[in-house]
Copies of this chain bind each other. A is one copy, B any other.
Amino acid sequence: MNTHIITIGDEILIGQVVDTNSAWMGQQLNFFGANVTHIDSISDTMEAIQEALARAVKTADLILMTGGLGPTKDDITKKAIADFMGVEMVFNQPTYDRIIRIFERLGRTTTPAHKEQCYMPANAKLLYNKMGSAPGMWFEYEDTIIVSMPGVPYEMKYLMEHEVLPKIKSHFKVKTVLHRTILTVGEGESRIAARIEDIEAQLPAHIKLAFLPNLGKVRLRLSTIGDDEEALRNELQHYAKQIEDRIPELVFGYEKQTLEEVVGKILKERNLTLATAESCTGGFLAHKITSIAGSSAYFMGSVVAYSNAVKVRQLGVAEATLEAHGAVSEATVVEMVAGARKLLQTDIAIAISGVAGPGGGTPEKPVGTVWLAIGNQEKTVTRKLQIGKDRLKNIEYATVQALNMIRKFVLAEYALIHSDR
């Protein structure tokens, strides 16, 4: 199926926004064999939109449009599509009712622009957009399917996943494309590649392996395409297992799982409670842990001890320790763990202290130096990282390593079933 993506809006053309939507859509379509042949970024004018549509319908089976559906004046996509197809705009009462309801719940009033927003091309099938006020639209125009979605990434993604992709699957005859993604943490891309080199060399031609690294985590994605779904699935499973058996200690999950989700699951299964004591990560570890629904079952809280005074007063780090070793030291994070466990009364605590940068580095402790410690009543494990110079990357990378330390500590120290806790 030949697919065109049309993105509408000057913000991409003037370079204010990098178009990440198209890459994401390209990946999704890829999963079931749709071939994106054009990505066309255009201005939000009637002429540009209609010219792009005229060009695309010549060859495309599917046209995905993003942008230009909001209530402000510069949003004219709908009108342009209607004119292009030669249909009227009609008022859609259910969409208006929904906007009214949303605004009432927020205790706010609507403006005439919101009513304006509810006129839709007469032949549009509306696609429910849980994430925003503008619905998506599905059109069947001659031999081409045209889909219009908002340009806000989370709205577009919601619509694609819940409405557009299922409809595409049922409308077009799609080949089966299967993926199996193994999630790893703890080794870099090239080290993993070396460890599984012989397995990769033996993969049949219709199975591909991709390494997708991201801040200390590497996803290994096996992909295959064909007709016999069950045979393909078994084959993927076979090779996935070979890879896993080779690097078991690195594998933390599959597909779209996140490390924080896996950490939450293993804590919950063991009925353990966790606290964090964070300096350089500034609450980002607590944020990742609490981004998981239901995390209150195992996460009690965090002390973000950004200043040394808070490390001393709240976490009970000894002034002498800070003087002798500094805030970024093994001794300090060990005392932070003990302090956090006691203060927040948890089974386990983890502590992080480092130099996030760009300032604060010294010859002995350059920017990117991070100490971590995790412990329970019996045991404490420490680790030192030397990351890079970018503040946000240092924070994110240290947080990934902290999550992995929790995972490894819990798996090593706590059996899944035990009756005495």
A residues near B, CB below 8 A?
Answer: 10-20, 22-28, 30, 35-43, 48, 55, 70-74, 105-108, 110-114, 130-131, 152, 154, 179, 188-191, 193-194, 200, 208-214, 221, 223, 276, 278, 281-287, 289-291, 293-296, 299-307, 309-310, 313-314, 343-345, 356-359, 386, 389-393, 395
Contacts and interface: CB of A to CB of B under 8 A. Distances in A.
B283 A344 contact: no
A189 B70 contact: yes
Given A189-B71, A301-B306, A306-B299, A41 B39 contact: yes
Contacts of A287: 281-284, 287, 395
A307 B300 contact: yes
A12 B289 CA distance: 28
Given A72-B189, A306-B300, A282 B289 contact: yes
A71 B190 contact: yes
A301 B293 contact: no
Contacts of A131: 390, 393
B26 A37 contact: no
Contacts of A154: 393
Contact of A108 (B55, B191, B286): B191
A191 B346 CA distance: 47
A341 to B, nearest CB: 13
Most buried by B among A26, A189, A386: A26
Contacts of A210: 10-11, 74
Most buried by B among A14, A71, A200, A357: A14
Interface majority SS on A: helix, strand, loop or mixed? mixed
A314 to B, nearest CB: 7
Q: How many chain copies does the complex carry?
A: 2
A190 B40 contact: no
A159 B301 CA distance: 39
Most buried by B among A214, A294, A301, A395: A301
A53 B273 CA distance: 55
A10 B219 CA distance: 14
A395 B286 CA distance: 13
Contact of A18 (B19, B193, B284): B19
A281 B302 CA distance: 12
Nearest to A218: B72
Given A37-B43, A210-B74, A291 B395 contact: yes
Contact of A23 (B17, B112, B286): B17
B282 A290 contact: yes
Given A14-B27, A19-B23, A23-B15, A283 B290 contact: yes
Given A10-B208, A16-B212, 15 more contacts: A11-B221, A13-B26, A13-B35, A15-B28, A19-B22, A38-B40, A108-B191, A282-B287, A282-B295, A283-B285, A287-B287, A293-B359, A299-B307, A300-B310, A302-B302
Nearest to A109: B191
A182 to B, nearest CB: 14
Contact of A294 (B28, B188, B293, B359): B359
A6 to B, nearest CB: 10
Contact of A38 (B27, B42, B112, B221): B42
Contacts of A48: 37-38
A306 B303 CA distance: 11
